[in-house]
Chains A and B, each alone.
Chain A
Amino acid sequence: MTTLILQLKLQWENQRRFWNLFQQNYLGMVGLLMLTICVFVALFCPWLSPFDPTEPTMEFLEGPSSLHFFGTDQMGRDLFSRILYGTKISMMVGITAALIAVLIGTSIGLISGYFGGKIGEGLMRFTDMFLVLPYLPLMIILTAILGQNQIILITVIGVTSWPSMARIIRSEVLSIKQRAFVERARAIGASHFHIILKHILPNVMPLISANVVLIIPVAIISESTLSFIGLGDPTTVSWGSILNDSLNNNAIMMEQWWFYLPPGLAIVFLSLGFSLIGHALDEIANPKLRKEHS
């Protein structure tokens, strides 16, 4: 009982120390604020949006007004509501795709770093192969062939975004492996599985979480790029597909700025929020970066 309380107390202390460090990072706090706004919008978009985002009306391509804050698109749909709903899609796709990428990247990095030798070398060659592949053409081809829906989109982005992660985790594992406590655990007779799970993984965890948050904005931009190219899920409302509509309807030449500025700004806002938090986490997780700044 007392050990449990001690453990909880230790965890609480750790979290408070982490939070203190994070609070000192001005840009990280700005990112957190930006992200909070986006989460709020994503959760409450059905109540926040004045119109149904998929309901066509007869008011085509109208400019901003007190009724339609960001005007309407070529099918008379309210752009403000579409952008609010787009937040949910972007976050969902970005976060799930990043989680897939991290799952693959972490397992490959852990295995290749811990076991080393032939397995490690082989896995790293495999990673290098993926790293040089032109990722956008690959994503385009994959979605064009496999079909256009949300699940395929998420999988394609996740499966093409892991290689850099694998390299980062591997180099960290290589240095942790040398530390005394790992050797001690091995001397007692702990299994590889136990050492990886109980000793190595907790130590790379901060780095993993920083990288998840750094991969999310990349995944969000990938999603909007694919939707912009016309390879997104046609049934969902996404910022990229709004921009695709605006390009197809020649909104730039018609000077319909409300059609292409707000969705782009939304993408920048969300991905910048994640990047700022990610860099702050990276600075905390990576002692080298922290020292340089103070």
Chain B
Amino acid sequence: MRRYIFRRLLNTVLTLFFIIGTNFFLFRLMPGAPIKAMARSQKLSPSTVKYLENLYGLDKSLFEQFFIYVKNCLTFDMGISFKFSTEVTPLLFERMGNTLILLVASTLLAIVLGILAGLWAGWHRGKFIDLSLLSTSLFFWSMPTFWICMIFMALFAGILPIGGMRDLMLENPTHWESFVDLLKHIALPTIVMTITYMGQNLLITRNEVTNILTQDYIATARAKGLSRGRITFKHVLRNASLPLLSSASLSIAFLLAGALQTEIIFSWPGIGRLLYEATLTRDYPVLQGSFYLLSLGVLLTNFITDIAYKYIDPRVEY
């Protein structure tokens, strides 16, 4: 176990450096001199260029720059935003928190509902309900997330709030009132993300049910009168937990992509929305910082799921 954790940790650290490296070189690949691109102006006096180069450390050698950059990344010193003229890091953490609320709510819902729907489809394999659940999830799967958001926005406009995270008109709300307000605002983004992510949990659970039901020992047990609930809990869920967990760890990037689009459309003040706004205004420090923080989040979650996987299934090697 210790060896396994060490290996995974080494891998995570290597990937982290890969990401930092990508981030570093990407922003130096920008067409045009980086200073001009960053200042967003072509007409700079040589002395200003020199001053800015000194400020950003661009007059040092590439190797030295990279060293400083790595140090800054590890200490979360992401520079100053062009647009907000404040430090990037506190901004990132605030927005990351909002994204996490959305992600946790929709992931939990998608797993629970996905398993329930999968069980339902699996027990009625080949019947109408099974086929309609399968085709619905395939249909939603081929829909771009941002378009589902737009459809839901059109459908629920006027019933649920379609933007932002809280109602600014609410005066001196009690804790309960602001909680209800948050629930109302999170409803639409969560529904959309749950729908897009539910499908694969449904498929995994359904396949596990059909797989289990064709096993000889289950046929015997059923003939002897083993109840559906017992089969579900003792056999299906236990067997499905591994593929569910591994697919969850593989789909973190997918979930993030969904969160990003949902945040853009429903103006959820998360890190995806921040990344989007930074793209529009070419706010490079924010762009770089949010990509770094997002990747770091993915890496950490992956590391944790890998350890959890090993804990559930000790046979896993490498």
Contacts of B137 in A (CB 8 A): none
Partner of A243, one of B15, B26, B150, B154: B150
Most chain B CB neighbours (cut-off 10 Å) among A128, A133, A243:
A133
Bitwise interface map of A from 124 to 143 toward B, beta carbon under 8 Å scored 1, else 0: 01001101111111101110
Interface residues of B in 241-268 (CB under 8 A from A): 250, 252-253, 256-257, 260-261, 264-265
Most chain B CB neighbours (cut-off 10 Å) among A131, A225, A230, A246:
A225
Contacts of A246 in B (CB 8 A): 150
Most chain B CB neighbours (cut-off 10 Å) among A134, A135, A253, A272:
A134
Q: Is A145 an interface residue, CB under 8 A from the partner? A: yes
Cross-chain contact B276 with A229 (CB below 8 angstroms): yes
Contacts of A142 in B (CB 8 A): 26
Q: Is A224 an interface residue, CB under 8 A from the partner? A: yes
- Chain B residue at minimum C-beta to C-beta distance from A135: B253
Cross-chain contact A137 with B290 (CB below 8 angstroms): yes
Partner of B146, one of A243, A252, A271: A243
Cross-chain contact B150 with A145 (CB below 8 angstroms): no
Given contacts A136-B256, A225-B146, contact A144 B294 (CB under 8 A): no
- Nearest Cβ on chain A to B261's Cβ, whole angstroms: 7
Measured in the bound complex, the distance between the Cα atoms of B253 and A255 in whole Å is 33
Binds B, one of A52-60, A103-111, A173-181, A260-268: A260-268
- Chain A residue at minimum C-beta to C-beta distance from B12: A132
Cross-chain contact B257 with A229 (CB below 8 angstroms): no
- Chain B residue at minimum C-beta to C-beta distance from A271: B142
Measured in the bound complex, the distance between the Cα atoms of B144 and A147 in whole Å is 23
Q: Is B49 an interface residue, CB under 8 A from the partner? A: no
Most chain B CB neighbours (cut-off 10 Å) among A142, A144, A230:
A144
Cross-chain contact A247 with B29 (CB below 8 angstroms): no
Contacts of B26 in A (CB 8 A): 141-142, 145
Partner of B18, one of A129, A231, A252: A129
Interface residues of A in 185-220 (CB under 8 A from B): 217
Q: Is A81 an interface residue, CB under 8 A from the partner? A: no
Chain B facing A: main interface SS: helix
Most chain A CB neighbours (cut-off 10 Å) among B253, B299, B302:
B253
Q: Is A257 an interface residue, CB under 8 A from the partner? A: yes
Measured in the bound complex, the distance between the Cα atoms of B138 and A268 in whole Å is 11
Bitwise interface map of A from 229 to 257 toward B, beta carbon under 8 Å scored 1, else 0: 11100000000100100110000110101
Contacts of B157 in A (CB 8 A): 252-253
Contacts of A240 in B (CB 8 A): 144
Q: Is A146 an interface residue, CB under 8 A from the partner? A: yes
Given contacts A137-B291, A144-B282, A145-B30, contact A275 B18 (CB under 8 A): no
Q: Is B280 an interface residue, CB under 8 A from the partner? A: yes
Chain A facing B: main interface SS: helix
Measured in the bound complex, the distance between the Cα atoms of B20 and A103 in whole Å is 26
Q: Residues of B within 8 Å of A, CB-based: how many? A: 48
Cross-chain contact A264 with B147 (CB below 8 angstroms): yes
- Nearest Cβ on chain A to B135's Cβ, whole angstroms: 9
Q: Residues of A within 8 Å of B, CB-based: how many? A: 41
Cross-chain contact A229 with B279 (CB below 8 angstroms): yes
- Chain A residue at minimum C-beta to C-beta distance from B135: A27
- Nearest Cβ on chain A to B208's Cβ, whole angstroms: 14
Contacts of B294 in A (CB 8 A): 134, 137
Q: Is B183 an interface residue, CB under 8 A from the partner? A: no
Q: Is B275 an interface residue, CB under 8 A from the partner? A: yes
Cross-chain contact A133 with B295 (CB below 8 angstroms): yes
Q: Is A114 an interface residue, CB under 8 A from the partner? A: no
Contacts of A145 in B (CB 8 A): 26-27, 29-30
Cross-chain contact A144 with B279 (CB below 8 angstroms): yes
Interface residues of B in 174-224 (CB under 8 A from A): none
Contacts of A99 in B (CB 8 A): none
Q: Is A85 an interface residue, CB under 8 A from the partner? A: no
Bitwise interface map of B from 86 to 109 toward A, beta carbon under 8 Å scored 1, else 0: 000000000000000000000000
Partner of A252, one of B138, B150, B261, B276: B150
Q: Is B308 an interface residue, CB under 8 A from the partner? A: no
Q: Is A221 an interface residue, CB under 8 A from the partner? A: yes
Name the 8 nearest CB pairs between A and B, nearest first: A136-B257, A264-B147, A272-B142, A271-B142, A129-B15, A144-B279, A134-B256, A134-B253
Cross-chain pairs A/B with CB under 8 angstroms, 7 sampled: A128-B11, A128-B15, A134-B256, A137-B257, A141-B26, A275-B138, A275-B142
Q: Could you list 17 further interchain pairs (A-B, Cβ under 8 angstroms) beyond the known A132-B252, A264-B151?
A: A125-B14, A134-B291, A136-B260, A137-B260, A137-B272, A137-B290, A137-B291, A138-B291, A144-B287, A145-B27, A145-B29, A230-B279, A243-B150, A247-B265, A267-B144, A271-B142, A275-B142
